[in-house]
């Protein structure tokens, strides 16, 4: 057990480990970095329970830039090699297919415009061509579809977490198992863990995922981040095509192939979840989700439910974009509120915050649009492509 560090990160998921690794890369190991993680088994970590997808189709430019940084690692993981072993993130580059009705056209067009014209912009199809292009879908109630064919798909998110954690440790980061129970500011930060251990640090970073607001309150900061439970169902669909892309329905659910089975994500619930609630909403599947799946894709009429799990999003309840940078409390930093796109943006977020802490400014992607102070500006654009 350590008793001090220059920078202490609360939360050892993909966000905390990305920041730790980028800090080590930025400083050459000349500062001490420690990560506190309450459960190093990661059995209930958001990073481990995510469907781990990546897309370019966002409506705010900074999110597209962050996805493209991650895309480089998915295509070439060599920078995260430890001991000569290069990780395999099993990247399946098959695209997102957003489906929309008349009221969704503006958002889908906005995402197309934000992606630009460099070959990664999605292809938009309008009615009546939808039926011909996507004969396996029921398109009668749709008016538009937007499909990204390059730079989108899914990957092994747990492998990314393990690789970042291993790379951070190899670069000198200390990983401490413990639950933060109190924070005190006495010139430096004192972080009290269960069991009575205390770690002193000059800079404290909140990377606590769905528990971010709880940690922020301990530091005297009000953070608009809440945990939201999301259920995922595993189905066997013998009539469906395992080569389909990831499909997002305008009713809020989505599905993608996983080998010969399919993973189906339920839409966002109305409220927010207790941090210890990991029970899937089986009633939702039977009463609401299955009928809509069968309506959208006739091949899903003959499916069989194989299993389910639930994980938590860390939702920024104000605009759906991440909160990165100073908190307003001295030497207390934020890397929170990714609202379901944390795994695909953790690499860029970690690099950016490392630059800001060490150099005092962003040197690569300008993440200032994700600063906490933007929430005082009602003109700040919200991310509407929340899945």
Q: What is the pLDDT of residues 288-320, one digit of tens each?
A: 999 999 999 999 999 999 999 999 999 999 989
Instruction: Decide if 383 is inside a domain.
Output: no
Element (H, E) at 254: strand 254-258
Residue 48 has pLDDT above 60, yes or no: yes
Other beta carbons within 10 Å of 79: 13
Q: Are strands 261-265 and 225-236 parallel, antiparallel or unpaired?
A: antiparallel
Identify the pLDDT of residue 114. Answer: 78
Instruction: Decide if 35 is inside a domain.
Output: yes
Quick one: which of 228, 273, 278, 233 has its CA closest to 256?
A: 233
CA distance linking residue 85 with residue 91, whole number of Å: 17
- Are 27 and 137 contained in the same domain? no
* Domain stops at, among 270, 299, 314: 314
When the pLDDT of each residue in the chain is averaged and rounded to a whole number, the result is 93
DSSP character string of 30-80:
-S-EEEEES-TT-TT-HHHHS--EE-S--SSHHHHHHHHHHHHHHH--GGG
- Are 129 and 191 contained in the same domain? no
Identify the pLDDT of residue 378. Answer: 59
Rounded-to-5 percentages of helix, strand, coil across the chain: 35, 25, 40
Other beta carbons within 10 Å of 148: 26
Q: Distance of CA 310 to CAs 67, 160, 248, 302, 380, Å?
A: 24, 20, 19, 24, 31
Backbone angles phi, psi at 257, to 5 degrees: -70, 150
Q: 195 near 178, Cβ under 8 Å?
A: yes
Instruction: Decide if 217 is inside a domain.
Output: yes
**Host domain of residue 125:** 96-151+227-314
- Are 249 and 310 contained in the same domain? yes
- Are 73 and 168 contained in the same domain? yes
- Are 232 and 358 contained in the same domain? no
Identify the pLDDT of residue 117. Answer: 58
- Are 371 and 331 contained in the same domain? yes
Task: Report the share of the chain in percent with pLDDT over 90.
Answer: 80
CA distance linking residue 49 with residue 352, whole number of Å: 25
């Amino acid at each position: 057990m350590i008793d001090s560090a220059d920078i202490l990160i609360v939360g050892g998921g993909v966000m905390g480990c990305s920041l730790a690794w980028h800090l080590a890369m930025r400083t050459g190991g000349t500062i001490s970095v420690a990560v506190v993680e309450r459960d190093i088994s990661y059995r209930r970590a958001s990073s481990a329970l995510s469907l781990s997808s990546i897309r370019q189709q966002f409506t705010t430019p900074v999110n597209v830039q962050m996805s493209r940084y991650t895309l480089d690692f998915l295509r070439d993981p060599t920078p995260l090699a430890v001991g000569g072993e290069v990780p395999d993130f099993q990247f399946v580059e098959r695209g997102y297919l957003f489906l929309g009705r008349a009221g969704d056209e503006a958002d889908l067009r906005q995402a197309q415009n934000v992606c630009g014209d460099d070959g990664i912009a999605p292809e938009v199809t309008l009615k009546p061509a939808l039926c011909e292009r996507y004969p396996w879908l029921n398109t009668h109630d749709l008016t538009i579809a937007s499909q990204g064919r390059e730079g989108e798909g899914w990957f092994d998110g747990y492998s990314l977490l393990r690789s970042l954690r291993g790379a951070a440790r190899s670069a000198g980061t200390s990983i401490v198992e413990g639950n933060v129970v109190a924070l005190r500011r006495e010139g430096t930060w004192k972080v009290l863990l269960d069991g009575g251990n205390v770690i002193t640090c000059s800079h404290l970073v909140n990377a606590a995922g769905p528990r971010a607001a709880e940690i922020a309150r301990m530091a005297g900061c009000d953070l608009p981040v809440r945990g939201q439970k999301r259920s995922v169902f595993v189905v066997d669909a013998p009539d469906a095509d395992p080569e389909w892309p990831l499909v997002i329905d305008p009713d809020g659910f989505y599905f993608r192939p996983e080998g010969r089975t399919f993973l189906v994500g339920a839409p966002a619930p109305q409220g927010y979840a207790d941090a210890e609630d990991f029970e899937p909403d089986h009633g939702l599947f039977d009463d609401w989700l299955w009928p809509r799946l069968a309506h959208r894709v006739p091949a899903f009429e003959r499916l069989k439910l194989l299993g389910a799990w639930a994980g938590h999003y860390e939702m920024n309840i104000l605009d759906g974009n991440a909160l990165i940078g100073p908190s307003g409390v001295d030497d207390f930093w934020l890397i929170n509120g990714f609202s379901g796109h944390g795994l695909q943006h953790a690499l860029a977020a970690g690099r950016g915050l490392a630059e800001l802490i060490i150099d005092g400014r962003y040197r690569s992607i300008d993440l200032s649009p994700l600063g906490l102070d933007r929430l005082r500006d009602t003109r700040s654009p919200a991310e509407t492509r929340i899945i």
